[in-house]
Structure 1
């Protein structure tokens, strides 16, 4: 659906070329929610704006549904952009227009008939839950309501792709959750391909299928969210995972327990239906191993339940090794810390 090939973007600053993106290669499947996560200045906003050529790449290809946008003239590019919706961090609504008028704006630009515009606006107001706010102005809306208007406006031309540029970073946590739930609902109802950039791992974990981690203008790690989240390889990815893993408290607990004697501390990961089965307890009973839980969580990544427990095994070295091997044989991921 979306393919970026050897994408480079540089800016001329005081006579010097400053690279923002360096050889980005990405493939995003039709109908998936793809997250791009990175720190401020990593290049993520530049990357997403290159996808609809709001920023024109210095070199490289931007293929959307088999069409290379970089090869199009202005008129054809404008036509292709109608198939690419975009929502922004700060909403970018017309302050002097009502909610209904904001949603209708791209349809008027496309010179659609009035009856068609009214019908489409009605449909979109219902989709985003703003039927009672049609005649209000942006100043009368909350941040979450403004973003819902932005989403409805981005969907007006029935796009194939929706680009989300930090769409939730100006919102409080509760409102963020409602907007993410709306995007997930839209993805499922419309089969829309969504590309979402953020600096929050919780956002990625909640609705994305796959993720790319960007650092210094490079994609440093990419893959299924479950795989990347549970087995982060690059230091930048590990930093983001720590946002939702209480790792500081864990490091203190591990340091304390290690200082107390020769004990084995392991992180046990459950995935899917394993999460709700007493595999750990049954294994410890079989091997006669005494254990204590230092840290634990059960959560979901989009539709996939998972759990992680950090446990201290208090048996002999041989007994602990046997226990770990049995856990692995039963399909659990076990990492000795």
Structure 2
């Protein structure tokens, strides 16, 4: 495991004459090189503060921040400005220069870094192609859609060939279809460039679509973290369960209880098992039957994932045997009723 971002004991306190606000409380966070790591939480949970502590736009009150082999919290202001060039940032509201063209917006950080004109043109051309805006280079932000503006923001964040891309609610101002296209772009960038992405969001759909791991925040603390599939399938904290419910169909257990003739179970499939007739084969080996009450097959990043709500009708012995055999095949089976 090669770590690219490491926060140790990071706290952030805002103090005024009348109040003290603990925005972050003793945060420990490790992000591996090349992964997409998501941080989810409600407004005020501390997500944005945490993200801005990575590039020290917010300076921690205590604790250390390390990016690559550099301890960010130990740098002088001049050293910090230089190091920030390798940490790209995408903003929720794009932050584009309205009087500059798309090309000029993307070139802006390169001009500040005093790149030669020829190198700037070449880099901007590459980035326009990468984000799908090759034909829009001479347009102004007012002539672009929200999704196109965010693509410009992403290209600008990549201009200095960063090691890390920080995404601050990059899709929350966009409609669902445009959100999906931006998430696909971020995933494509991660695959092609191997760039590490740390993103914050309040939408579980974003986490499920592209993240490898996730941390859930509440009141300035990380309350739960792990592989996205693990957290999604087995959320521990009430806040995590609330977020997971955003992308899970609700099950009315009272209606099921009144209609059920057998045992109702929830079966989770992962990987290629989502497309195999495991349930049919397992039930066929007994005298029981089954009824599918609800089912979905989707993907979490690149992993197929399926969920079935099934009523097993048969003897206690047969249904116990079915559940045991399904679990022995690596499926997660939860008894609902």
TM-score computed with the length of structure 2 as normaliser: 0.96
- Structure 1 distance, partners of 2:145, 2:260, is 55
Q: Contact 2:13 / 2:20 at 8 angstroms: preserved in 1? A: yes
- Alignment partners' CA distance in 1, 2:14 and 2:163: 30
Partner of 1:321: 320
Whether the 8 Å CA contact 2:65–2:71 is kept in 1: the answer is: yes
Cα deviations across residues 295-337 of structure 1 (Å, max 9, x unaligned)?
1110111111011101112223232212111111122110112
Kindly indicate whether residue 37 of structure 2 is the aligned counterpart of residue 34 of structure 1.
yes
Give unpaired runs (5+ residues) of structure 2.
none
Deviations 1:220-249 (A, max 9, x none): 1111111111111111111111001112xx
1:228-239 map, 5 Å: 228-239=231-242
Partner of residue 296, structure 1: 295
Separation in 2, partners of 1:39, 1:197: 10
Residue 226 (structure 1) aligns with: 229
Partners of 1:330 and 1:220 in 2: how far apart? Answer: 31
Task: Say what the alpha-carbon RMSD is for the aligned residues.
Answer: 1.1
Structure 1: gaps of 5 or more residues? none
Distance 1:226 1:217 in 2: 24
Length-normalised TM-score, structure 1: 0.96
1:49-128 equivalences under 5 Å are 49-128=52-131
CA distance in structure 2 between the partners assigned to 1:244 and 1:30 by the alignment: 28
Report how far residue 290 of structure 1 moved: 1.8
Kindly tell me the number of residue pairs found equivalent between the two proteins.
333
- Shift, 1:260, TM fit: 4.2
Distance in structure 2 (CA, Å) of the matches to 1:89 and 1:21: 21
Alpha-carbon distance in 1 for matches of 2:147, 2:317: 56
Shift in Å, 1:15: 3.1
1:307 and 2:310 correspond:
no
C-alpha deviations, 1:99-148, integer Å up to 9, x for none? 00000100111111111111111111111111111111101100000000
Partner of 2:196: 193
Runs of 4+ in structure 1 displaced over 4 angstroms? none
What is the Cα deviation at residue 21 of structure 1?
0.8
